[in-house]
Structure 1
Amino acid sequence: MSPSTGSGRRLREHLVDIRPLREIPAFRAFWIGTTISSFGSQLSAFALLYYVWELSHSAALVGLTGVVRAVPLAVCGLLGGTLADRMNRRTLLLAMRLAQMASAATLAVLVIVGVGNVPLVYVFMGVGAGLASISVPSSQTFAPRLLDGERLSAGLALMRLSSQFAMLAGPFVAGILVDSLGVGICLAVDAVTFIAALWGIVSLPKAVGEPQRDAAAGKSERGILGAVRHLVRTPVLLGAFVADLNATLLAIPTALFPVINAERFGGSPVTLGFMLPAIGLGGILAGVFSGRITRQRRQGVVMVACCAIWGAGIALFGLSGWLPLALLGLVIAGAADTGTVVSRGTIVQRSTPDALRGRMNSLDFLVGAGGPSLGDLRAGMVASATSGAVAAVSGGLACVVGAGVIAAAIPSLRSWRGDAAERKTAVSPSTVDG
């Protein structure tokens, strides 16, 4: 083997593993549809925030959009988990996407004809958030049914890369469209992109939509309490949830961006505009070079390490008074966040029987959505009492320490291996391709 051949092979091992897209047609179609639809959703989210501001010029009303989304996300997310374990998940997801498409199209028409107002936008925001959160637990069950072994981790990395791309490209394109064609066009494009999502869902084999009944679960595992019991009784799952909360409660920097920008960098909106995309850039880079991460069998070690790196990146962001170094800290944190999401997803999906997977996904969704909100509250309170820099540095360092404590206290998390000894939840490739 020539040196160039060896170098090429080593490079491929570090790049994102695209075997799930190449080998599993159903996953490929679902991924493409989800990617296009996610991009449309980002267009809509940006356009609606701008529209509320344009109608009201009230920061309070713009901020209230978070609450408008949060309540249905929490309530409907739990409902979605229960429904996903009781009915065909493919059918449920199709129904939710059709409803989302109808909602987006209706709002687009109302805005284009000029009858939109803030209360009306709130209603459609709430409806959209509720429908989306009902669909999340079902949509997350397909990858573990379609993929096995390393391909599951690789598939989750590809899904993460897709969402990071949408988060970066969506607002940028939306800004151009809103400026040139208005808010309504973004909402209309969002409605159209649901066609791609529907195509991806229809491409899934009907068999992967049917929950696999676990006779051992019994009546005691019915309802959301069944998922809670499984979570409490499975230390590796509990450790994964606690590790995620450690990172989000202690070291979420979003609320600190305007504070640190004013303290350290003159308060320029241009400078502020670099901060969140820096995290997204780190996430995309980690996704592109995720091959080594997804091929690791000890995903618990990967998760704990990435949590610690996330905290270190946030601490670096808070320590630096030089903008490039501060942004580098956010890029590092964003890369670690992708590693955490992929490893946690692998652990959750492979440690949960399919009969409980919808409800467990709903709990995972609540942790992922609620942790950052509480983390922003903590960061804001600490920053009010001290400074934005102190809040970032103290939170980041506490996250690093917390990751070490979790690794020491929950040995099953650091020793967890995603190999053949784990519960098998994927269907065979022959079934998928059919």
Structure 2
Amino acid sequence: MSLSPSPDAAPAPGRGRFLRGALADLTPLRENADYRRVWFGQSVSSIGQQMTAVAVAVQVYALTGSTFATGLVGLCSLVPLIVFGLYGGAIADTVDRRKLGLIGSAGLAVVSAILAAQALLGLGQVAVLYAAVALQGGFFALSSPARSSMIPRLVPSAQLPAANALNTISMNLGLTVGPMLGGVLIGAYGSQSAYLVDTVAFAGTIYAMWRLPSMRPETGTRKGRASVLDGLRFLREQPNLRTSFLADLAAMVFGLPRALFPAIAVSFYGGDARTVGLLVAAPAVGALTGALFSGWISRVHRHGAAVLVSVTAWGLSIALFGLTHGHLWLGLLLLAAAGCADTVSMIFRNTMMQVAAPDEMRGRLQGIFIVVVAGGPRLGDFESGTVAALTTPTVSAVSGGLACVAAVLLLAARRPAFLRYDARHPTP
């Protein structure tokens, strides 16, 4: 008997190339030490922040038993996110972005320590939780535009698509591991355990920011209110970029029933804090999967159509999720499908924005982006919580998903040029 490998056992021709082309490109992490430290620090702190998000929702719901009160958590952070997102972006275009990111990360660590203290002391005051969430929103919105606008300075332009995918992996790694770990810790040791871990986790981001060189904008810009208005005017003059923002806003406001997860965990599935952690993590599992297998995205040129298709898939998945009473794994699968669709949309939208924005405008556009990406879900928390309080969690989830699809169809009808957007001939 021959010991030579059988032709049937040999790898299929091109299989290795296919896998390499499908998986995310790790070149930015291998070749750029500063980017590697920032990526790792953000990944660790993101896990801690998502643990805190679950802990706050569980604590508010435990204190009040109200979906409306839980939804108000999102509204409390919405105003700081909008105000400091816009002005934080303007500031990032006029000062050293490294220092701004360092200040914001340190502020977030302090707020997490305050949350840990109130839980350890057993204060049981919802107002304290609301105030802490508002501070978190302000510090996050202040520092995030600075951190995001650093990326084109940390990696060569040819590596930006790969860096965008890696940033998505980092974010969704936090969204995946954080809620699950948070649910386990909260169930075993209480909310204070999640807050304490979050406080320590910020050490990674603070260290990464400390090691960076100065990150002043490449060209001077005007300070103050005029800078904010310049960013808004720039966005107004870019119809395709503006449409991508509106599509994402529709998905976040109407199609994200995050505030309902504590109530859904109990009423749909008879679960507890661990079930809440699974529900929060499921979209991130899908998003992480989509980002890990994002190599194919570079071969798609119709970015506008891809964004609208992805957001439509998100809305339909959320609507179906609202009908999964008694079937936890089906609900988790639909949330994961929604998360995968969101990742695809995000990568395309980020690429479109980086093409359109010069360095001196990146902070302001990232500030507007923060208002949409971070502020939209908070408004969505309020919307879904209010609708659920007036009707039921089922009606809230289903109607929100269908409203998202309707908004996408309206955008497609009003802006047909967005469907024809071609990355090979970009017209922002």
Return the TM-score normalized by structure 2.
0.81
Q: Equivalent of 2:226, from 222, 225, 245? A: 222
| 1:143 CA drift (Å) | 1.8
Residues 422 and 102 of structure 1, relative CA distance in 2, 3 Å threshold: same
Aligned 1:164-179 pairs, distance under 5 A: 164-179=172-187
Residues 395 and 147 of structure 1, relative CA distance in 2, 3 Å threshold: same
Given the alignment of the two structures, is residue 85 of structure 1 paired with residue 90 of structure 2, yes or no?
Answer: no
| Alignment deviations for residues 183-212 of structure 1 (CA, whole Å, 9 cap, x no partner) | 444433322222210222234342xx2112
- The separation in 2 between residues aligned to 1:117 and 1:385, in whole angstroms, is 26
Aligned 1:8-407 pairs, distance under 5 A: 8-50=16-58, 56=63, 59=66, 64-105=72-113, 108=116, 112=120, 114=121, 116=123, 118=125, 119-148=127-156, 151-206=159-214, 209-213=215-219, 222-254=226-258, 265=268, 269=272, 274-294=278-298, 296-318=300-322, 323=327, 324-376=329-381, 379=384, 392-393=397-398, 395-400=400-405, 402-407=407-412
Counterpart code for 2:281: P
Counterpart code for 2:364: R
| 1:77 CA drift (Å) | 2.0
**Paired residues of 2:45 and 2:205 also in contact (CA < 8 A):** yes
Q: Which moved more, 1:228-237 or 1:368-377?
A: 368-377
| Alignment deviations for residues 153-184 of structure 1 (CA, whole Å, 9 cap, x no partner) | 22222222222221222233234444555544
| 1:230 CA drift (Å) | 0.5
| Alignment deviations for residues 303-346 of structure 1 (CA, whole Å, 9 cap, x no partner) | 12211221232343346678354443322211101111222122
Structure 1: stretches of 5+ with no match in the other structure: 424-434
How many residues align? The count is: 415
SS of alignment partner, residue 358 of structure 1? helix
**Paired residues of 2:250 and 2:404 also in contact (CA < 8 A):** yes
> Percentage identity across aligned positions?
35
Counterpart code for 1:334: G
- The separation in 2 between residues aligned to 1:373 and 1:125, in whole angstroms, is 11
- The separation in 2 between residues aligned to 1:116 and 1:388, in whole angstroms, is 29
Q: Could you say which residue in structure 2 is the equivalent of 1:426?
A: none
Residues 409 and 115 of structure 1, relative CA distance in 2, 3 Å threshold: closer
| Alignment deviations for residues 329-380 of structure 1 (CA, whole Å, 9 cap, x no partner) | 3222111011112221222232122212112111111122333344455556
| Alignment deviations for residues 271-323 of structure 1 (CA, whole Å, 9 cap, x no partner) | 77654333222112112211112554443332122112212323433466783
**Paired residues of 1:251 and 1:311 also in contact (CA < 8 A):** yes
Return the TM-score normalized by structure 1.
0.80
Q: Could you say which residue in structure 2 is the equivalent of 1:428?
A: none
SS of alignment partner, residue 86 of structure 1? coil
Residues 239 and 123 of structure 1, relative CA distance in 2, 3 Å threshold: closer
Structure 2: stretches of 5+ with no match in the other structure: 1-9
Q: Could you say which residue in structure 1 is the equivalent of 2:5?
A: none
Residues 353 and 256 of structure 1, relative CA distance in 2, 3 Å threshold: same
